[in-house]
Amino acid sequence: MRSFRNAALGLLGAAAVAAASDVHELKQDTFSDFIGKHDLVLAEFFAPWCGHCKALAPEYEEAATTLKEKEIPLAKVDCTAESELCSQYGVEGYPTLKVFRGADNITPYTGQRKAEAIISYMTKQSMPAVSLLDKDTLEDFKTADKVVLIAFFDATDKTSNETFGKVADGLRDSFLFGATSDAELAEKEGVKQPGVALYKTFDEGKNVFEDKFEQKQIEEFIGTSSIPLIGEVGPETYAGYMAAGIPLAYIFAETPEDRESLATTLKPVAEKHKGAVNFATIDAKAFGQHAGNLNLEVGKWPAFAIQETVKNQKFPLLPQDEKLTEKSVGKFVDDFVAGKIEPSVKSEPIPEKQEGPVTVVVAKNYQDIVLDEDKDVLIEFYAPWCGHCKALAPKYEELAQLYSPFSTQVTIAKVDATANDVPDDISGFPTIKLYPAGSKSSPVPYSGARTVEDLAAFVKENGKYGADAYAGTEDKDDEKAELKKKSAADEDSDDEKTDMPHQAPAATEKVAEKVKEAVKEKASEVKEAVKDAAVDSDSDAEDHDEL
């Protein structure tokens, strides 16, 4: 009886929470009307079993309550119940968030999945790119967000007005922009017209831009001044640091107290190099594995390293057992800025002999092979643990074998991107790029189906030499027709549903056997992944030791 009573009370409590929700739950028959009645709506397309959706739920609810006061509604759609509606709006993963300004003006939500970030982002979306300010509205606007930019220029200065407008249009998702032509306000704020003041809730609170009033200079000023002198690297901030375009210095420490202490110690170093190097602490307990990506030894804390984000070069401060002081770190950063330190390069040994049709690349021979101006080089960036890479392997070997007659013009190569530092931006595995002869600064990424025929066509179409891997082969037309037939069959198979790469027919029995083994292995991996997903679906969120 008691258990029944407790269960009943629990259900009543859940019902009360649901009734009190400020998030509007929409369905196929209510969605269009709701979007039509509101000028601005943020809609979340979710699945109840999705761990990331569960983690977002309380943040989304909090944001909805705050934004309700600003008449910016937040809505959600259960895609397991409203599959047709979700398909209509191109939902392919969960959660997907979209900003609606009517039925025809839809943009993806690109902010962070935290209440504060959602509130900030949607507040910006509700305002014009540049808000016109006066003496009555200036003070409130200055504190409307973590970072606010206000331009001061004469009412007749159309050029500055247009320039600032372009900056605001490009960055409106990230910052609030205001402007005033009141000369007295400019004088009061210590800004010479035309100029810009950046107000922030951290560090010194305010920075003034009085350089040449041009778009590029203003954007660079914002990029430098809007980032804390010593911030914190995490999943919510990592992309911003990478997008800043200047080197990032990591301070690894395990406890908040240690991170705060080191931030205080190294503040003078950060101040000295502001605008040249960004500084940030990082939780070594949660994200310690990232130290390995910077060629530091994982587990030895505290630690310090600089990443040249544009070139993806790493500069670890070694040895790690030395204490991090203002003097030791300061000298290291001084030498880095002066170009006196060589980047640390992680590399496997150069193979004594290339075995097999695919050329093995490591960091130490990357430039000699991939950047060889005389050859078209197709390179696969893979990870040994990647199931998709394993499935691709036999087809990639077959492709390399087909190109063996063109060895003076084309190289088919691969590199283990987990064991070698490469100068390429790799966002997932496998990543495939073609470096055409004579155009090494403009690699062409591959995004097609992972079939031998499609890869060969890609090399032919984008390489300098237009090498045709099938030219001169026996029964060329029949082989191509069979490949096309198999690829078409793959499109209708369960491979696509499980996100498995499509399998192309092998050229020999030996390769065919490898393909079968790869498919079996992949099927096993998918089966295990489904099991893991079922377990993970009961958790509130997924834990990640990554940025």
Q: Look at strands 131-132 and 444-445 and give their pairing.
A: unpaired
The residue from 40, 53, 291, 483 that is catalytic is 53
In whole angstroms, give the CA distance from residue 93 to residue 48.
13
The residue from 303, 389, 434, 511 that is catalytic is 389
In whole angstroms, give the CA distance from residue 94 to residue 48.
10
Q: Which of 135, 131, 181 is nearest to 154 (CA)?
A: 181
φ and ψ of 304, to 5 deg: -140, 140
Sign of CA dihedral 377, 383, 388, 391: positive
Supply the Cα-derived Rg of the chain in whole angstroms: 28
Catalytic annotation present for 79: no
Q: Which of 547, 16, 11 is nearest to 288 (CA)?
A: 547
Residues forming beta bridges with residue 315, ordered by sequence position: 306
In the structure encoding, which two tokens stand for residue 439, read together?
């155009």
Per-residue DSSP letters for 28-79?
HHHHHHHHHH-S-EEEEEE-TT-HHHHHHHHHHHHHHHHHHTTT--EEEEET
In the structure encoding, which two tokens stand for residue 161, read together?
């007005």
* Cis peptide bond upstream of 436, omega within 30: no
Within 13 A of 177's CA, how many CA atoms are on the CB side? 22
Q: Which of 289, 203, 293 is nearest to 242 (CA)?
A: 293
The residue from 57, 360, 386, 529 that is catalytic is 386
Name 18's Cβ contacts closer than 8 Å, sequence gap at least 6.
none
DSSP code for 240: H
In the structure encoding, which two tokens stand for residue 38, read together?
């509101």
Is residue 25 within a helix (H) or strand (E), and if so which, with residue range? strand 23-25
Catalytic annotation present for 53: yes
The 10 Å CB-count burial string (b at 16+, else e) for 428-446 is: ebbbbbbbbbeeeeebbeb
The residue from 26, 40, 50, 148 that is catalytic is 50
DSSP code for 202: S
In the structure encoding, which two tokens stand for residue 301, read together?
């804390």
φ and ψ of 130, to 5 deg: -130, 120
Catalytic annotation present for 86: no
DSSP code for 344: B
φ and ψ of 225, to 5 deg: -80, -20
In whole angstroms, give the CA distance from residue 18 to residue 243.
39
In the structure encoding, which two tokens stand for residue 485, read together?
């037939």
Name 297's Cβ contacts closer than 8 Å, sequence gap at least 6.
291, 303, 320
In the structure encoding, which two tokens stand for residue 466, read together?
């237009």
In whole angstroms, give the CA distance from residue 253 to residue 303.
7
The number of residues making up the chain comes to 547
Q: Which residues are catalytic?
A: 50, 53, 386, 389
